[in-house]
Amino acid sequence: MPEKVALKGLAAADKYYQDYGLRARELKKQGKKVIGYLCAFTPAEIITAAGFIPFRIKGDVDEPITKADTEMETIICPLVRSCFDMALKGNYEFLDGLVVPHACDSICRTYDIWKYTLNLPYSHFINMPHGTDDASLGFYREVLDTFRTSLGKFAGKEISDQALAGAIKLHNQNRAKVKELYQLRKSSPPLISGEELTKVLIAAMSLPVEESIEMLGDVIAEVKGRGGLSARKQARIMVIGAQVDDIAFIKLIEDSGAWVVADDLCPGAREFLALVDVSADPLAGLAERYLRKVKCGRTYREMKGNYQEYLEDRFGHMGRMIDDFGVDGVVLYIYKYCDPYGFEVPQIKSYIEAKGTPVLYLEDEYSMSTIGRLRTRIQAFLELLGSK
C-alpha cells in the first residue's frame, strides 16, 4: 500500500472528512486512476474490479453555490448543484472519469451538463430502471453489462467475473463493518455519536474500499475501547432523508441535546446495510442488490398484497430500526426540489406516527444559512419529546 495519513480511526476519518479527496489526490499522484460518481446507486464494485478507485462526489453546505448557476438551473436539487459547484471550483480535478446512475431527475437530467462541462477522459450513464419486477431486473443486468464492457475498454482490459467477485467480496466486507459500527449506537448512551459516525461514513466514500475497511475496523476498536459518551439522558433521534453528505445537520440535532442513533440516509443505513449476494453471475447479484435490496424513494416497488402490506414493504425497515435502536423521535429531512422523497412525505410520516413515534418534517435547501434556521424547530421537537 502506498503511504497514507499517519492518523488512525476517528482522527483519520476527521482528516479525510475535513480535506475531502485527500487520499484520492495522493493516489492519483502515484499513478492510480480515480473514477468519480454521483449517488450510491453507482455500483462501485465494478469500478473497483476495473482497478480504479471509486470516489463519491459530495457537496459542501458551507460553500455558497456561485459557479454552478451559469450552467445549471437553480430549480435542480440544491445538493446536486452544490456537488457540481464544487467540481467547477476545482475540488475534484483529480478525477479521470465520471459515472452517473439514473437515480433521480436532478441527477439524470444533468448528466449531459456534467459530462460536457467537466469533459473527463471517461464518462458513463448507468440507465438504471425504476421498477423491481423481473423484466426490470433483467434489463438492469444488461445495463450493468454495458457499463462493465465500457469501463473495461477504458481500463484497457476486460473486467472478468473473477475480478467482479473479488470486488463484491471487498465491498461486502466494507458494509459488514458499517453494520458492526451501527451496533455501537444501540446502547444508551450510544458509544459513538451521530456526528462521528456520519463523518466516518463520509470519509469512507472517498477511500479505496480496502482502506475504508481498515479505517472502519480501527474506528470500531477505538470506540469500543474508549470511555462512553456523556451519560446525560437525551432523546434518541433517527434521521430519514435523501443524501446527507455533511455533518452540519446531524451536529445541529446533537448540539440541541439529543443523540442521533439511527438513520435511513445516504450515506448511512439505506445504502450500507444491504449486501450483494455472492452468486455465479456477479452482475445478477449486483442488479438484485441495487434494484431490490436498497430501498430508496427513487425506486418504484410494485404493490403486492394490500395497501398496508405495501407500506410495510416500503417503510417496514424504518419501523424496525426505530424499535431496534430505541428511537424516541424521527426527523424527516427532505431537500427542496426532491421529487423522489417529497412525494413520500405524507406516507412516511403517517406510517411512523401510526407506530407511535413522533415525526418532525423539515424541508431544507442544503446550505449552512438555512440549516441554522431549523434550530428552533429541532429544539421545540426535543422539548415536545421531553414533555411526553
Amino acid 75 reads I
Q: Cα(322)–Cα(275) distance, rounded to whole angstroms?
A: 21
- DSSP H stretches of helix in 156-281: 161-183, 194-204, 209-225, 248-255, 269-272
C-alpha cell at 178: 458499517
Nearer Cβ to another protein (73/323):
73
Least distance (Å) between residue 158 CB and another protein: 15
CA angle 217, 218, 222 (to 5 degrees): 120
Least distance (Å) between residue 333 CB and another protein: 12
Least distance (Å) between residue 228 CB and another protein: 22
User: What distances in angstroms separate CA 309 from CA 240, 304, 345, 346, one per listed residue?
Assistant: 21, 7, 18, 17
Nearer Cβ to another protein (28/102):
102
Q: Cα(113)–Cα(116) distance, rounded to whole angstroms?
A: 5
CA angle 372, 375, 379 (to 5 degrees): 170
Minimal CA–CA distance to 233: which of 380, 385, 359, 10? 385
Least distance (Å) between residue 337 CB and another protein: 5
Nearer Cβ to another protein (2/138):
138
Least distance (Å) between residue 64 CB and another protein: 17
Nearer Cβ to another protein (108/201):
108
Least distance (Å) between residue 204 CB and another protein: 28
Nearer Cβ to another protein (101/190):
101
Q: Cα(95)–Cα(44) distance, rounded to whole angstroms?
A: 15
Residue with cell 476517528: 10
Please classify residue 121 by burial: count the beta carbons closer than 10 Å to its beta carbon, then call 0-12 exposed, 13-18 middle and 19+ buried: exposed
Least distance (Å) between residue 135 CB and another protein: 4
Least distance (Å) between residue 345 CB and another protein: 5
Buried/exposed 155-175: b ≥16 CB within 10 Å, e otherwise: beeebeeebbbebbebbbbbb
Nearer Cβ to another protein (22/311):
311
Minimal CA–CA distance to 143: which of 290, 353, 31? 290
Nearer Cβ to another protein (27/382):
382
Please classify residue 368 by burial: count the beta carbons closer than 10 Å to its beta carbon, then call 0-12 exposed, 13-18 middle and 19+ buried: middle
Nearer Cβ to another protein (2/121):
121
Least distance (Å) between residue 348 CB and another protein: 10
Q: Cα(71)–Cα(88) distance, rounded to whole angstroms?
A: 10
Nearer Cβ to another protein (38/192):
38
Q: Cα(53)–Cα(45) distance, rounded to whole angstroms?
A: 10
Nearer Cβ to another protein (10/80):
80
Element (H, E) at 123: strand 122-126
Least distance (Å) between residue 71 CB and another protein: 5
